Amino acid sequence: MQRSFETVLFDLSDGIATITLNRPNALNAINPQLTVDMVAALKLCEADDVRVVVVKGAGRAFGSGDDLKEPFDLKPQDDIATGFYAPRPPYYNVIRAMRRLRKPVIAQVHGYCVGASLDLALGCDIVFAAEDARLGMPNTNRGLTGPTYMLSQAIGYHRTAELVLVGDLLTGTEAERLGIVNHAAPAARLDEAVMGMARRLATGATRAKGLAKMALNLGMHKEFEEGSAYHGYAVMLVRETEDVKEGRQAFLEKREPRFKGR
CA–CA distance, 11 with 19 (Å, rounded to integer): 7
Q: What is the pTM of this model?
A: 0.83
CA–CA distance, 112 with 133 (Å, rounded to integer): 6
Instruction: Residues 2-188+214-253: name the CATH superfamily.
Output: 2-enoyl-CoA Hydratase; Chain A, domain 1 (3.90.226.10)
**235 close to 89: Cβ distance less than 8 angstroms:** yes
Given a cut of 70, whether residue 224 has pLDDT beyond it is no
Closest CA to 89 of 20, 147, 175: 147
- Domain-by-domain residue ranges, the chain? 2-188+214-253
- Banded model confidence at residue 79, pLDDT cuts 50, 70, 90: very low
pLDDT, tens digit, for every residue of 43-57?
999 999 999 999 999
